[in-house]
Amino acid sequence: MDFQEVLRHRRAVRTYDPRPVPRDLLERITNAAVVRAPSAGFSQGLRLVVVTDSALRKEIAAAAAEEELAAHGRPRWKAEAPVHVVVLVREADYHERYQQQDKLEITAGTEIEWPAPYWYVDAGAAAMALMFAAIDEGLPGGRRHVPGAGEERLQAAAQAAIRSRSLGTLVERIARANLVHVTGQPVSDAGIVNLEHVLGVALT
């Protein structure tokens, strides 16, 4: 569909078809964020974890306060989405990038004073790219912020997905390959798994 049609279809969806989403389709959707979303200074701090395992989806829903909201009469919908894409960012990648020589040459030898936390800006753009890409593939989606109290629980679920044989591992490899292509050096597993900031969950 053309871009105007994608925009017209963008809305937050709270009811999902439980059928699995094909792997090749998920690869195209996540690639839109990994490759096409903006990155300040090409810092490439974005991390995506795709979760399809039902138990881990329930953990993510719990981290996003699904049970607390249900106690106030809100419907349970997060765990029902067949795919969760956890959008994370590593702030240190941005500081490391802006301490490299080509950046220091234009900032008098010191790292810039960040006018805004661009790691969050980039993660927000990536989440929107994910949602647009999903719509373009004919899939509805929604976005849910994870409150501060749920960050540790979400990180644990994301790391469990990375360690498992789930699609999460594949998407981390896509992100890592992109970084290798850009920086010319491999990214350590510690850099992938030690995720500092949790931005939200895009559900498709």
Range of the domain at 78: 3-203
pLDDT at 198 over 60: no
Question: What distance in Å separates the CA atoms of residue 61 and residue 107, rounded to the nearest whole number?
Answer: 43
pTM: 0.76
What is the count of structural domains for the chain?
A: 1
Q: Are strands 197-203 and 46-51 parallel, antiparallel or unpaired?
A: unpaired
CB 122 within 8 A of CB 89: yes
pLDDT reported for residue 56: 83
CATH number at residue 45: 3.40.109.10
Alpha-carbon distance values, 109 to 82, 92, 99, 101 (Å)? 48, 18, 8, 8
pLDDT at 164 over 70: no
pLDDT at 5 over 70: yes
Alpha-carbon distance values, 152 to 51, 84, 157, 181, 192 (Å)? 16, 17, 9, 31, 16
CB 202 within 8 A of CB 87: yes
CB 200 within 8 A of CB 151: no
3-7 contacts, C-beta under 8 A, 24 or more apart = 6/132, 6/135, 6/136
Interval 52-81: pLDDT, tens: 888 888 888 888 888 888 899 888 888 888
Percentage of the residues of the chain whose pLDDT score is greater than 90 = 14
Interval 7-24: pLDDT, tens: 888 877 777 787 888 888
- Where is average pLDDT lowest: 4-8, 111-115, 129-133, 171-175? 171-175
